Structure 1
């Protein structure tokens, strides 16, 4: 796995956001629905990408606790 996964997922979310822009029905709440859907997708993507990258490249190396001190 690499950081490219995050970029490809971002492209997919961008495409889905752009697609949802045109698929929302016209009405008095059209702008609210568009904004809510796109904002939800962006927030979910950011949460996923931050967690994914934090696990991919941890800042602190884990230490084994089952080793005997010698």
Structure 2
């Protein structure tokens, strides 16, 4: 199920990036603004995906500290 969420959110971010690409106002800073929007979307998506996957599949199994040693 995790792959489905990653792909769906990636599609949403790609759609937002495409909309941002085409609605950017014309001007001398158009390239800079497009680059900033796409880089922001990419970084936010990567941060979300890494955090989501790290919580879904942790590398270290959590241990409860309130249990006695024999359990």
The TM-score, its normalising length taken from structure 1, stands at 0.94
Specify the SS of the correspondent of 1:68.
coil
After superposition, the CA RMSD in angstroms is 1.0
Matched residues in 1 for 2:69 and 2:50: separation? 36
Question: How far does residue 66 in structure 1 lie from its aligned partner after superposition?
Answer: 0.7
* Structure 1: gaps spanning 5 or more residues: none
* Structure 2: gaps spanning 5 or more residues: none
Runs of 4 or more above 3 Å deviation: none
What is aligned with 2:58? 58
Matched residues in 2 for 1:17 and 1:4: separation? 20
Question: How far does residue 15 in structure 1 lie from its aligned partner after superposition?
Answer: 0.8
- Count of residue correspondences: 70
Question: How far does residue 3 in structure 1 lie from its aligned partner after superposition?
Answer: 2.6
Aligned 8 A contact 1:6 1:49 in 2: yes
Specify the SS of the correspondent of 1:3.
helix
